[in-house]
């Protein structure tokens, strides 16, 4: 059985096919069936197939999609006022918030209509009257997406393309809901989007990959979807593999595929690596030994000490200083704080500064203790999980690379070459002075 579902492969080139036109999309995937809409407080009938599929959200949380949709429907049904302004909303998250991820771009560049099909399927299932596709500002695919949306004249729900600023926290689901309603892409504390999202309406935010899977489930059913993959989190999934592999990029694998096999597919042949980053900059570092024998599924990667998140696996070259990488990313993540909560606004930059000293081997044991104390102080105190994810990235890195930390405390560094590995997006230089100011 082929593991290519979202990304049909051209047998001639071995690459994902370009199915950007509606005609080519329909020729390969077939038509999207008519989908009865939610009514009378009940979800559309596709909900049974989605529940049977076991589909979980691919944006990072891996939450059961059917349950999230059910919560949106229940929230809408429970309202006293049933005006148009209280009807559910669907937001497709194709923001690619994790800098090391490439899967949203790959989906939009090859199979945008599968994502748009998924938006229609989701809108029918929750009874949404408005739908948005969010890509970050400056994304090269914007014109092509406008054309793709314009081609779909028979869609029951019109999809509006929205372009929030390309900031890390702007892709958090409350921030996206905030942006869609009020043009400010900062996370909102307290309200859960499925209850109160865009303009207070029940809002279903789903990752682009989740919606693309939904486009297939609408055609082939839940049992078909669950034919491949891990029992707890079935189906295929996209993985962005980067770092020291010969063919970095986005691949589609069945969940539960051994990490060793996944890496072999990207041309990893026994390369020396320092360790692996899983899940991106809000993710976790893992030793090669721990990850090598694991399977790529949420529980298995978690047991190995990592996190799948949005499907990122980065092999850090042996020879590159991991502490420099950690300091670079920590500095970027500190700059990406929305500045709304004190521990994140002040805590992350102070930790990043000490990590920079550690990377330069000008850090004392006391400074290291201060890093660890402050990391503990930023967790569980934010309005969103930005500080928590960043703290996990740093803390797991300091553990996995503890030998290198010790070397740096002695004033040394065992890197055999300079250079960097992990990508850091261009960040505007001005520090955040007021919450929200740079998020419009």
Partner 1 sequence: MSKHVRRQLHLDPTLCDAHGFCAELLPELIDLDEWGYPVFIAGGLVTDVPEDLIGEAKRAVSTCPAGALRLTKHE
Q: Which is nearer to partner 1, 232 or 357 (CB)?
A: 357
Cβ 382 to partner 1 shortest distance, Å: 6
Contact 22, 29 (CB under 8 A): no
Least CB distance from residue 346 to partner 1, whole Å? Answer: 4
64 forms part of the interface with partner 1 (CB under 8 A)? no
The answer to whether 337 and 167 are in contact (CB under 8 A) is no
Q: How many CB atoms lie within 10 A of CB 288?
A: 17
417-431 per-residue burial string, b: 16 or more CB within 10 A, e: under 16? eeeebbbbeeeeeee
How near is the Cβ of 98 to partner 1 at its closest, in Å? 23
Minimum separation from the CB atom of position 393 to partner 1 (A): 20
The nearer residue to partner 1, 138 or 342, going by C-beta atoms, is: 342
Give the residue, chosen from 190, 269, 365, 426, that forms a contact with partner 1 under the rule CB under 8 A.
190
Task: For 77-89, give the DSSP string.
Answer: HT-S--SGGGS-E
- Give the integer Cα–Cα distance in Å for 286 and 399: 9
Q: Which of these ranges, 117-125, 165-173, 182-190, 424-432, lies near partner 1 under the rule CB under 8 A?
A: 182-190
Please identify which residue in 183, 189, 264, 362 interacts with partner 1, judged by CB under 8 A.
Answer: 189
Shortest distance, CB of residue 342 to partner 1, whole angstroms?
Answer: 4
**Least distance (Å) between residue 199 CB and partner 1:** 18
Shortest CB 190 distance to partner 1, Å: 6
**Alpha carbon distances (Å) from 88 to 69, 70, 125:** 10, 11, 10
- Provide the minimum distance between the beta carbon of 345 and partner 1 in the complex, in angstroms, as a whole number: 8
**127 φψ region: left (φ > 0), alpha (ψ -120 to 50), beta (else):** left
Cβ–Cβ < 8 Å for 44, 37: yes
Q: Which one among 99, 164, 298, 383 touches partner 1, defined by CB under 8 A?
A: 383
- Rg of the chain over Cα atoms, rounded to whole angstroms, equals 22
Choose one: 8-16, 90-98, 164-172, 181-189; the region binding partner 1 (CB under 8 A): 181-189
Q: Which of 109, 85, 105, 89 is nearest to 97 (CA)?
A: 105
Taking CB under 8 A as the rule, does residue 181 contact partner 1? no
- Pairing of the two strands 249-254 and 159-162: unpaired
Q: Rule CB under 8 A: say whether 22 interacts with partner 1.
A: no
Contact stretch for partner 1 (CB under 8 A) within 135-143, 145-153, 261-269, 337-345: 337-345
Binding test (CB under 8 A) with partner 1, winner from 243, 275, 382, 397: 382
β strands within 193-283, DSSP E: 203-207, 236-243, 249-254, 273-278
Minimum gap (Å) between residue 189 Cβ and partner 1: 5
Residue 341 within binding range of partner 1, rule CB under 8 A: yes
Q: How far apart are CA 118 and CA 323, in angstroms?
A: 41
**Site pattern 342..381 for partner 1 (x: CB under 8 A):** xx--xx-----------------------------x--xx
Q: In this complex, which beta carbon is closest to partner 1, that of residue 153 or of residue 433?
A: 433
54 binds partner 1 (CB under 8 A): no
What values do phi and psi take at 175, rounded to 5?
-70, -40
Report residue 77 as tokens. 């049904």
Contact region for partner 1 (CB under 8 A) — 101-109, 142-150, 271-279, 341-349? 341-349
Stretch that binds partner 1, among 113-121, 164-172, 188-196, 325-333 (CB under 8 A): 188-196
Count of residues near partner 1 by CB under 8 A:
16
- In this structure, what DSSP letter does residue 234 have? B
73: enclosing H helix or E strand: helix 65-77
User: Minimum distance between the CB of residue 166 and partner 1, rounded to whole angstroms?
Assistant: 22
Q: Give which of 356, 393, 165 is closest to 280, Cα–Cα.
A: 393
At residue 434, the 3 state secondary structure works out as coil
The Cα 376–Cα 395 span in angstroms is 9
Interface with partner 1, residue 197, by CB under 8 A: no
User: Which pair of structure tokens corresponds to residue 115?
Assistant: 């994502």
Q: Is 390 in the site for partner 1 (CB under 8 A)?
A: no
Residue ranges in contact with partner 1 by CB under 8 A: 187-190, 340-343, 346-347, 377, 380-383, 435
């Amino acid at each position: 059985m082929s593991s290519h579902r979202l990304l049909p492969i051209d047998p001639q080139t071995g690459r994902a096919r370009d199915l950007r036109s509606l005609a080519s999309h329909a020729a390969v995937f077939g038509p999207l069936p008519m989908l009865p809409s939610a009514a009378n407080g009940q979800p559309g009938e596709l909900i049974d197939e989605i529940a049977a599929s076991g589909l979980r959200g691919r944006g990072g949380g891996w939450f059961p999609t059917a349950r999230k949709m059910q919560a949106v429907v229940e929230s809408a049904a429970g309202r006293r006022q049933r005006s148009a302004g209280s009807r559910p909303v669907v937001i497709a998250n194709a923001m690619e918030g994790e800098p090391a991820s490439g899967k949203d771009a790959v989906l939009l560049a090859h199979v945008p209509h599968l994502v748009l099909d998924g938006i229609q399927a989701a809108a029918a299932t929750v009874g949404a009257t408005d739908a948005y596709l969010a890509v970050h500002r400056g994304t090269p695919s914007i014109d092509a997406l406008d054309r793709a949306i314009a081609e779909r004249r028979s869609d029951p729900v019109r999809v509006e393309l929205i372009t929030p600023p390309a900031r890390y926290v702007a892709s958090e689901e409350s921030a996206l809901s905030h942006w869609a309603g009020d043009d400010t892409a900062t996370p909102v504390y307290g309200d859960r989007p499925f209850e109160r999202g865009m303009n207070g309406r029940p809002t279903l935010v789903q990752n682009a990959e989740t919606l693309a899977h939904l486009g297939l489930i609408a055609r082939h059913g839940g049992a078909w979807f669950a034919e491949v993959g891990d029992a707890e989190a079935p189906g295929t999934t996209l993985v962005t593999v980067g770092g020291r592999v010969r063919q970095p990029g986005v691949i589609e694998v069945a969940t539960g595929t051994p990490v060793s096999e996944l890496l072999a597919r990207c041309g990893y042949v026994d390369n020396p690596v320092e360790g692996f980053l899983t899940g991106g900059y809000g993710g976790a570092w893992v030793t090669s030994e721990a990850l090598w024998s694991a399977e790529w599924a949420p529980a298995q990667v978690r047991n190995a000490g990592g996190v799948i998140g949005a499907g990122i696996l980065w092999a850090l070259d042996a020879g590159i200083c991991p502490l420099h990488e950690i300091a670079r990313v920590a500095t970027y993540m500190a700059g990406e704080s929305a500045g709304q909560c004190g521990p994140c606004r002040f805590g992350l930059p102070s930790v990043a500064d000490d990590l920079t000293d550690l990377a330069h081997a000008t850090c004392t044991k006391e400074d290291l203790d201060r890093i660890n104390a402050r990391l503990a102080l930023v967790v569980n105190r934010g309005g969103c999980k930005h500080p928590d994810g960043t703290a996990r990235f740093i803390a797991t890195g300091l553990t996995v690379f503890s030998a290198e930390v010790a070397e740096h405390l002695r004033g040394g560094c065992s890197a055999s070459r300079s250079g960097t590995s992990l990508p850091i997006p261009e960040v505007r230089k001005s520090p955040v002075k007021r919450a929200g100011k740079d998020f419009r």
